[in-house]
């Protein structure tokens, strides 16, 4: 058991059921309904390492606990970053927190995105809406090791231009990281110059070699279902398509069964799954 005062960087889950107190260093409003919290351990301990795609259980004291992916840079784990969309009780209460307030953190949990499998290949990253938050650490990792990957296509769909997350970073990923960035919105407003329509429309012309590419997809399940179909039409096989799934969670550790999905636990075996492993259960809420 790790002492509260010891660094925890190499001991990521010392007491997995006990939230550790983190202090909010910064609150940033990203869009109308989405905000980012930057957190540091309240006791001055070091942050913990995480892999792109992993999530934490965030506890708003007295309200409840929810799973939220880590959206920060894996090479700067001293600050823990989470980007959250307000949808209900806990996320609404989380949005009320201010700089200096405390929040409970358990984690990191879950299986990461397949950065290793993508090495030496084209990479196709397809987020929809808030799905960009769990994929942002992948984009940081690809940027940090850019030469080890071939072409990187980022195909992002949002509801409106105002809902596009991380617009400044979009520009950096396009200009500095040399990613092929393609944006689309359901409804254009103002001086929008990119595409209008579903993110699936971006796939037929996206620059990647289906025989040597890995795709990572995160968004609403219906969006992921159609994205996977388009990727398959391009010739990408299911063993190189990865999706991230969401279900209600309680323990985050494979104990309680709340996140059971067919024969797997999303918290422990996912949330990132290779598509061929879950194809049979995908989009069936009753499993």
Ligand X SMILES: Cc1cc2nc3c(=O)[nH]c(=O)nc-3n(C[C@H](O)[C@H](O)[C@H](O)COP(=O)(O)OP(=O)(O)OC[C@H]3O[C@@H](n4cnc5c(N)ncnc54)[C@H](O)[C@@H]3O)c2cc1C
The nearest distance, CB 236 to ligand X, in angstroms, is 24
Instruction: Rule CB under 6 A: choose which of 37, 45, 90, 165 binds ligand X.
Output: 90
- Closest residue by beta carbon to ligand X: 88
Binding-site size, ligand X (CB under 6 A):
21
Q: Which is nearer to ligand X, 83 or 122 (CB)?
A: 83
Per partner kind, with CB cut-offs from 5 to 8 A, the member of ligand X, ligand FES, none near residue 66 is ligand X
CB nearer to ligand FES: pick between 241 and 267: 267
Using rule CB under 6 A, residue 250 touches ligand FES: yes
Total binding residues toward ligand FES, as defined by CB under 6 A: 12
DSSP for the chain reads ---TTS--TT-S-SSTTSPEEEEEEEEEEEETTEEEEEEEETT--------TT-EEEEEETTTEEEEEEB-S-TT-TTSEEEEEE--SHHHHHHHT--TT-EEEEEEEESB---HHHHTTSEEEEEEBGGGHHHHHHHHHHHHHTGGGSS-EEEEEEESSGGG-S-HHHHHHHHHTS--EEEEEESS--TT--SEES-GGGGSTT----GGGEEEEEES-HHHHHHHHHHHHHHT--GGGEEEE-----SSSSSSS-TTEETTEEHHHH-BEEEHHHHTTTTT-TT-
Position 53 contacts ligand X (CB under 6 A):
no
Stretch that binds ligand FES, among 138-146, 150-158, 172-180, 247-255 (CB under 6 A): 247-255
The whole-angstrom separation of Cα 138 and Cα 151 is 14
Among ligand FES, ligand X, none, residue 91 binds (CB under 5-8 Å by kind): ligand X
249 binds ligand X (CB under 6 A): yes
* Residue 134 lies near ligand X (rule: CB under 6 A): yes
Binders of ligand X among residues 91 to 120 (CB under 6 A) are 91
Assess 249 for contact with ligand FES (CB under 6 A). yes
Q: Does 132 bind ligand X (CB under 6 A)?
A: no
Shortest distance, CB of residue 282 to ligand FES, whole angstroms? 18
**Measured from the CB of residue 55, what is the shortest distance to ligand FES in angstroms?**
11
């Amino acid at each position: 058991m790790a002492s509260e005062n010891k660094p925890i960087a190499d001991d990521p889950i010392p007491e997995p059921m006990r939230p550790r107190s983190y202090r909010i260093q910064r609150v940033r409003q990203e869009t109308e309904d989405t905000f980012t919290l930057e957190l540091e351990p309240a006791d001055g301990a070091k942050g913990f390492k995480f892999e792109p795609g992993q999530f934490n259980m965030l506890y708003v004291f007295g309200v409840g606990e929810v799973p939220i992916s880590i959206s920060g840079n894996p090479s700067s784990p001293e600050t823990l970053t989470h980007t959250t969309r307000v949808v209900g009780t806990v996320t609404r209460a989380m949005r009320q927190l201010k700089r200096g307030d405390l929040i409970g953190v358990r984690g990191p949990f879950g299986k990461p995105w397949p950065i290793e499998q993508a090495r030496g290949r084209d990479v196709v990253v397809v987020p929809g809406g808030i799905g960009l938050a769990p994929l942002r650490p992948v984009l940081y990792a690809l940027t940090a090791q850019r030469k080890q990957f071939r072409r990187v296509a980022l195909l992002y769909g949002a509801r409106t231009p105002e809902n596009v997350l991380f617009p400044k970073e979009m520009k950096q990923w396009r200009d500095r990281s040399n990613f092929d960035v393609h944006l689309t919105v359901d409804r254009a407003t103002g001086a929008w110059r990119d595409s209008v329509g579903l993110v699936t429309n971006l796939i037929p012309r996206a620059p990647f070699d289906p025989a040597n590419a890995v795709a990572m997809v995160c968004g609403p399940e219906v969006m992921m279902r159609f994205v996977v179909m388009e990727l398959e039409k391009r010739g990408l096989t299911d063993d190189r398509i990865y999706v991230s799934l969401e279900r209600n969670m309680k323990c985050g550790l494979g104990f309680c069964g709340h996140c059971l999905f067919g024969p797997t636990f999303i918290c422990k075996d996912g949330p990132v799954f290779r598509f061929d492993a879950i194809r049979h259960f995908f989009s069936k809420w009753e499993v």
